């Protein structure tokens, strides 16, 4: 059986099981020949399938293998298109400020809270439905959450996170039933500490209009207004929270 792969994680696991009889690694061509008898051959296939499944869980040893440098010195890592479905290992990367994770299979951001130095995060083109862990980071410079499965309930969890530029376009639930103007107003109100939303600067006038609409105008009592008044705001109104990093 010949297996071709371009995934560094797969190469990492193959090297770890080189001691298995009959498994010969050709590192240059990234081609692997499994030479077992029929019974052993079936076992080896199961093992390889198991490797494929566990390599989608990010861990510190995989980060080290990919970065080729000590994790405590790692500052930037590109993990785009690796089939990752679960995050982890960031606790050992105290200087990691840029993480590129687009085009994976991530649904939950559990584990991202350990990336305490994170400033630039590209999480676009995943299947993210939960940003609870992301809300544990106090501030971010650039956050790309476009092309995911986020709802306004999840967006509201970022109410206390200061963000220079957040991108949320192409999350279908955020546009469902809303015009582009209403979509923008919803985000401006739910993200009082964001400077830019979808690459467009939030002006003080725009912020004030959103506050007036949801707290004193026609939007009072709406679904978005209710989200803003839930426990996620810890009893603070949008006015009390102010315009984020401007205060």
How far is the C-alpha of 55 from the C-alpha of 5, rounded, in Å? 13
- The answer to whether 136 touches 94, Cβ cutoff 8 Å, is no
How far is the C-alpha of 121 from the C-alpha of 76, rounded, in Å? 10
Q: What would the pLDDT profile of 23-55 be if each residue is shown by its tens digit?
A: 444 443 344 444 433 433 333 455 555 555 555
Look up residue 204 and give its two tokens. 């003080």
Other residues' Cβ atoms within 10 Å of the Cβ of residue 53: 11
Determine the pLDDT at residue 175.
95
Q: Are strands 162-167 and 139-144 parallel, antiparallel or unpaired?
A: parallel
Determine the pLDDT at residue 51.
55
User: What pTM was estimated for this model as a whole?
Assistant: 0.77
pLDDT tens for the chain, residues 1 to 247:
444 444 545 555 555 554 443 444 444 334 444 443 343 333 345 555 555 555 577 878 778 877 778 899 999 999 998 888 899 999 999 999 999 999 998 999 999 999 999 999 999 999 999 999 999 998 999 999 999 999 999 999 999 999 999 999 999 999 999 999 999 999 999 999 999 999 999 999 999 999 999 999 999 999 999 998 874 445 444 544 544 443 3
Determine the pLDDT at residue 60.
82
């Amino acid at each position: 059986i010949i297996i071709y792969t371009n995934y560094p994680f797969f190469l990492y696991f193959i090297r770890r099981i080189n001691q298995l009889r009959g498994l010969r690694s050709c590192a240059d061509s990234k081609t692997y020949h499994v030479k077992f008898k029929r019974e052993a051959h079936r076992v080896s296939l199961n093992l390889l399938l198991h490797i494929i499944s566990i390599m989608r869980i990010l861990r510190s040893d995989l980060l080290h293998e990919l970065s080729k440098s000590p994790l405590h010195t790692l500052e930037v890592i590109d993990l785009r298109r690796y089939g990752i479905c679960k995050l982890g290992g960031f606790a050992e990367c105290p200087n990691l400020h840029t993480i590129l994770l687009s085009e994976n299979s991530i649904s939950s951001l559990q584990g991202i809270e350990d990336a305490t130095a994170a400033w630039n995060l590209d999480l676009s083109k995943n299947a993210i439905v939960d940003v609870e862990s992301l809300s544990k980071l106090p501030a971010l410079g650039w956050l790309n959450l476009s092309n995911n499965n986020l709802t306004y309930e999840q967006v509201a969890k970022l109410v206390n996170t200061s963000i220079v530029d957040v991108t949320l376009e192409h999350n279908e639930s955020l546009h469902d039933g809303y015009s582009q103007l209403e979509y923008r107003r919803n985000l401006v109100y739910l993200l009082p500490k964001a400077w830019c939303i979808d690459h467009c600067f939030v002006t003080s006038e725009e912020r004030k209009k959103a506050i007036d609409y949801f707290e004193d105008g026609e939007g009072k009592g709406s679904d978005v207004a209710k989200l803003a008044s839930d426990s996620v705001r810890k009893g603070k109104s949008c006015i009390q929270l102010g315009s984020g990093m401007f205060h």
